[in-house]
Amino acid sequence: MTKSVQIYDTTLRDGTQAENFNLSVTDKVRISHKLDDLGIDFIEGGWPGSNPLAVDFFKTMQGQTLKHAKLAAFGSTRLFSNPCEKDKNLQALIDAKTPVITIFGKSWDIHVHDALRIELEDNLRIIEESLAYLKPHAENLFYDAEHFFDGFKKNQDYALATLEKAILGGAECLVLCDTNGGMLPHEVKAIIECVQTFIAGHGDHITLGIHAHNDSETAVANSLLALSLGVKQVQGTMNGYGERCGNANLTSIIPALGLKMGYTAESLKNLDKLYDTAMFVDELANLPHNKYQPYVGRSAFAHKGGIHVSAVKRNPLTYEHVEPEKVGNFRRILISDQAGKSNILHKAKKFGIELDPKSPIAASIVSELKELENQGFQYEGAEASFELLMRRAVGTHATYFTLKGFRAINSKRKMGRPPETEATIRLEVGGHEVHTASMGDGPVNALDKAMRKALTRFYPALEEIELVDYKVRVLTGQHGTGAKVRVLVESKDQYEQWGTVGVSVNIIEASWQALVDSINYKLMRDDQRHAKSS
Ligand SMILES: CC(=O)SCCNC(=O)CCNC(=O)[C@H](O)C(C)(C)COP(=O)(O)OP(=O)(O)OC[C@H]1O[C@@H](n2cnc3c(N)ncnc32)[C@H](O)[C@@H]1OP(=O)(O)O
Ligand SMILES: CC(=O)C(=O)O
């Protein structure tokens, strides 16, 4: 028998309660369509009683069509001092004109006394009355029982009484919230079973949902457990964004339901869009992607240890719990001091380098790599430098220029005035000697400019290179300003982006190595492209 589940995404509401996670109306609209493409069933767009941005968003969405998802507006029960028809929050929910309305109410007695400062009976009234008032305005009416688990542990009868009032008010789904995120899986089971027995007497049209926060790192586990017990709706956010430590991460829950638990839902038909959706949300929120995230992280299927790589190449099941393609992710093989021959052979194939597994060159590349990594080089983020290293080892590299000497001068003449920097360089290119100079914002910038000035005469395509990132890392184990540094340079042209690395006790020398690799890589790739097209 197939089991169905409703996926309710609150990235646009609870997600935006996360520190540094902010979205404009346009971002929210774009994310809504992306979530709809993924097949999310319900998209909670915001709290219209809270801010004008949420109101604008719902207005904008009134003119848009979603293929599958239903939009939900979120708010609270009415203020005790207001009758429903005068409560601004309830009016804003109606004005949002969404097919779904979700309101939260208090389940925990201390919240009623200390946060709302009203009597327990009065809270029961506002829950029932608010829901009953909203009922005619919503196709689906959901009730978020805030702090349900904590409330249940402290005063079970009262927590259940709030649910009863929500049912009487007309809520069709009672969403049990672990608002403080403190619940552990073994506690969740007993509470859900008790609630299931309680609601069984109220007809089978009432369903349960779960909304878990991640303060104990158990939001996904608690949600999956709840679903396995028969809960029908799961609420969460993309990449787990949310108040404090975040919400249950739908990018982990959705694939678990589809690939491991035998559920059906629209988004489970589109699992291969999950990685792309997760990246899209990070991109619009302008937050760095968490590469270590399960399923959708860039490292989720990145194999580093030689033993792992060797086995994965023979059978991916040996070190992968699911196929990366199923969630739109892909397998990566990393190069580091933990690599073995299998990592090297994999890269050789990827770079189009012929390398006999039995040849001593493969083994010598592994030892050279380990020696260089020991000196501080790191190739995980500098694959272009590694490709050049491999080509030098097999003898298929080209020499585009030779250094005859460079000088970088940094002169500071007065306190409070910026220094002046200048670099001169002498290179030999195809039998010609070139000698150029350039000023720069700093010695590395001046050197980069002087080198390009010298080379673009011979290789005009170098003008296409853009330096997109320049990172310096002081390597531990050495002293203060005499420490070794590792420089990582990220470059791009119209075709691709590539990383190169340099290491030295001298930051200019380390930068020079990374810049030279970047230029050599560009020229090599252009040659390969020309060879292919001719
Ligand atoms: C568990 C959750 O994540 S719930 C969602 C939480 N999200 C947010 O708070 C973000 C949006 N919030 C807001 O924009 C504002 O807090 C508003 C507009 C909702 C309220 O703003 P203000 O009126 O200035 O009050 P404030 O921010 O101090 O919130 C406390 C008020 O909410 C009331 N309140 C809190 N929960 C509820 C509830 N479930 N039902 C009714 N009222 C509630 C409190 O009683 C208090 O009102 P009071 O001072 O009249 O007693
Ligand atoms: C409703 C909600 O966001 C919570 O209880 O966490």
Cα 150 to middle of ligand 2, angstroms: 12
Residue type, 290: N
Ligand lying nearest the CA atom of residue 18: 1
Q: What is the distance between the terminal CA atoms of the chain, rounded to a whole angstrom? A: 58
Residue 98: give its domain's CATH number: 3.20.20.70
Does residue 44's CB lie within 6 angstroms of at least one atom of ligand 2?
no
Average pLDDT over every residue of 516-526:
98
Does residue 146's CB lie within 6 angstroms of at least one atom of ligand 2?
yes
Ligand lying nearest the CA atom of residue 181: 2
Ligand lying nearest the CA atom of residue 47: 1
- Among 285, 318, 352, residue at a domain's last position: 285
Residue-level pLDDT at 480: 67
pLDDT digits (tens, 9 = 90+) for 220-249: 999 999 999 999 999 999 999 999 999 999
Question: Has residue 476 got a pLDDT over 90?
Answer: no
The residue written with tokens 């369509």 in the block is 33
Does residue 38's CB lie within 6 angstroms of at least one atom of ligand 2?
no
Residue-level pLDDT at 203: 79
- Domain housing 508: 402-533
Say how far apart CA 133 and CA 170 lie, in whole Å.
9
- Among 254, 285, 316, residue at a domain's last position: 285
Say how far apart CA 127 and CA 447 lie, in whole Å.
69
List the residue whose alpha carbon is closest to atom 39 of ligand 1.
Answer: 105
Question: Has residue 261 got a pLDDT over 90?
Answer: yes
- Residue 324 covered by a domain: no
Cα 387 to middle of ligand 1, angstroms: 57
Say how far apart CA 104 and CA 8 lie, in whole Å.
15
Cα 105 to middle of ligand 2, angstroms: 9
Does residue 103's CB lie within 6 angstroms of at least one atom of ligand 2?
no
Residue-level pLDDT at 205: 87
Percent of the chain with pLDDT over 90: 90
- Closest atom of ligand 1 to 47 CA is 11
List the residue whose alpha carbon is closest to atom 3 of ligand 2.
Answer: 14
Residue-level pLDDT at 337: 87
Q: Which parts of 85-184 fold into alpha helices (H)?
A: 88-95, 109-110, 120-134, 148-154, 156-169
- Residue 508 covered by a domain: yes
Q: Coil, strand or helix: which one is 470? A: strand
> Same structural domain for residues 77 and 211?
yes
Average pLDDT over every residue of 198-216:
93
Ligand lying nearest the CA atom of residue 182: 2
Cα 194 to middle of ligand 1, angstroms: 30
> Same structural domain for residues 409 and 279?
no
- Residue 353 covered by a domain: no
Residue-level pLDDT at 1: 59
Q: Which of 425, 470, 413 is nearest to 449 (CA)?
A: 425
What is the sign, positive or negative, of the torsion defined by CA atoms of 34, 38, 39, 43? negative
Residue-level pLDDT at 144: 98
pLDDT band at 172 (very low <50, low <70, confident <90, very high): very high
Residue-level pLDDT at 374: 87
CB atoms within 10 A of CB 262: 11
- Residue 323 covered by a domain: no
Residue of 150, 179, 215, 234 to test ligand 2 pocket, by largest number of atoms within 8 Å of CB: 179
pLDDT band at 360 (very low <50, low <70, confident <90, very high): very high
Question: Has residue 152 got a pLDDT over 90?
Answer: yes
Average pLDDT over every residue of 15-28:
96
pLDDT band at 398 (very low <50, low <70, confident <90, very high): very high
The residue written with tokens 């774009």 in the block is 30
Average pLDDT over every residue of 342-353:
93
> Same structural domain for residues 73 and 210?
yes
- Residue 316 covered by a domain: no
Cα 211 to middle of ligand 2, angstroms: 7
DSSP conformational letter for 504 = E
Mean pLDDT across the chain, nearest whole number? 95
List the residue whose alpha carbon is closest to atom 3 of ligand 1.
Answer: 14
Say how far apart CA 78 and CA 322 lie, in whole Å.
46
Given the cut 0.85, state whether the ipTM is greater than it: yes
Residue 466: give its domain's CATH number: 3.30.160.270
Q: Coil, strand or helix: which one is 401? A: coil
Range of lowest pLDDT (70-74, 116-120, 274-278, 530-534): 530-534
Question: Has residue 143 got a pLDDT over 80?
Answer: yes
Q: Coil, strand or helix: which one is 248? A: coil
Report the largest interatomic distance among the alpha carbons of the chain, rounded to a whole angstrom: 93
- Residue 348 covered by a domain: no
Question: Has residue 482 got a pLDDT over 80?
Answer: no
- Residue 172 covered by a domain: yes
Residue of 142, 146, 223, 245 to test ligand 2 pocket, by largest number of atoms within 8 Å of CB: 146
Residue-level pLDDT at 323: 98
Say how far apart CA 242 and CA 15 lie, in whole Å.
4
> Same structural domain for residues 108 and 248?
yes
Q: Given its phi and psi angles, is residue 398 left (phi above 0), alpha (psi -120 to 50 degrees) or beta?
A: beta
Residue-level pLDDT at 2: 67
pLDDT digits (tens, 9 = 90+) for 22-46: 999 999 999 999 999 999 999 999 9
Residue-level pLDDT at 336: 87
> What is the number of structural domains in the chain?
2
Cα 89 to middle of ligand 1, angstroms: 10
- Closest atom of ligand 1 to 105 CA is 39
The residue written with tokens 């020229």 in the block is 523
pLDDT digits (tens, 9 = 90+) for 66-95: 999 999 999 999 999 999 999 999 999 999
- Among 266, 285, 304, residue at a domain's last position: 285
- Residue 137 covered by a domain: yes
